[in-house]
Amino acid sequence: MMNAFPVSMKLLIEEFSKMPGIGPKSAQRLAFHILRSSKNDAETLAKAIVKVKESVRFCKTCNNLSDEEMCEICNSKDRDRSVLCVVEEPNDIAAIEKAREYDGIYHVLLGSLSPLDGIGPSDLKIKELLERVKKDRFKEIIIATDFNTEGEATALYLMKQLQSSGSKLTRVAYGIPVGGDIEYADQATILKAFEGRREVRP
């Protein structure tokens, strides 16, 4: 049976299929979109992909995405440095910032605890978090991990590790549904989640 697409087209479809949430049909649509685009648009996209791989790194302080050694939030003089919000991924910071409710700083774990997948505390940026907390003595630490099994397990572990820090420990709660990811919550939901955060004890 002959291939329906040329080798180069098939290769592009296969590469798109490797992306999260992109199935075979979506990959084909994306590939045809690129094919119908101008050469200039295709080259611009290709350059942007290469640029992000070459330039974007993790902030040395909080692990957010950055073009520099430190991210824009960590460098800002306008942030409240007495409050630290702990999130799973950089995507969560982007979602929280859109709500314009929180003006503290962040710490990104770069994942969540998942024993079934072999992901333990040493695989996340938990050691770095504990070092920051010991050094900076935050007034409040907001645990904003997702409300799924992995996120809740991570939150519980962090509460136990941070209980002797002297910081007020809070958990975002109201508005974020059980099993929900902060990344996908709308601005109003995130606003309510931060306004209604509650103090927690392990």
- Do 84 and 48 lie in one domain? The reply is no
Q: Which two tokens stand for residue 92?
A: 């969560």
pLDDT at 197: 77
pLDDT of residue 178: 47
73 in the same domain as 131? yes
Identify the pLDDT of residue 76: 95
The pLDDT, as a whole number, for residue 120 is 94
Residues 107 and 38 in one domain: no
Note whether 129 and 167 are within 8 A (CB).
Answer: no
Q: Are residues 22 and 76 in the same domain?
A: no
Q: Looking at residue 89, what is its pLDDT?
A: 95
- Is residue 2 assigned to a domain? no
Q: Concatenate the DSSP letters of all residues of 48-115 into one string.
A: HHHHHHHH-EE-TTT--EESSSS-HHHH-SSSEEEEEEEESSHHHHHHHHHHT---EEEEE-SS--BG
Residues 6+ apart with CB under 8 A from 162: 130, 133, 141, 169
Structure tokens at 12: 């592009």
Contact 97, 91 (CB under 8 A): no
Other Cβ atoms less than 10 A from the Cβ of 81: the count is 13
The answer to whether 144 and 100 are in contact (CB under 8 A) is no
The pair phi, psi for residue 83, each rounded to 5°, is -120, 130
Please indicate, yes or no, whether residues 90 and 160 belong to a single structural domain of this protein. yes
d(CA 167, CA 58): 26
Domain match, 44 and 71 both: no
| Structural domain boundaries, residue 113 | 65-199
What is the phi/psi pair of residue 62, to 5°? Answer: -115, -10
Per-residue pLDDT, 183: 65
Beta bridge partners of 105: 84
Q: What is the pLDDT of residue 198?
A: 74
- Predicted TM-score (pTM) of the model is 0.76
What is residue 172's predicted lDDT score, i.e. its pLDDT? 85
**149 backbone dihedrals φ, ψ, rounded to 5°:** -60, -45
Do 32 and 125 share a domain, yes or no?
A: no
Q: Let me know whether 151 and 190 are in one domain.
A: yes
Each of the 202 residues of the chain gets a pLDDT tens digit; together they read 446 788 999 999 999 999 988 999 999 999 999 999 999 999 999 999 999 898 899 999 999 999 999 999 999 999 999 999 999 999 999 989 988 889 999 999 999 999 888 999 999 999 999 999 999 989 999 999 988 889 989 999 999 999 999 999 999 865 555 445 666 666 767 767 776 677 877 6
CA–CA distances in Å: residue 133 to residues 1, 81, 163, 166: 62, 11, 11, 9
Counted domains in the chain: 2
Which CATH number fits the domain that encloses residue 30?
Answer: 1.10.8.420
The residue to which tokens 């910071």 are assigned: 93
Pair 85, 42 in one domain: no
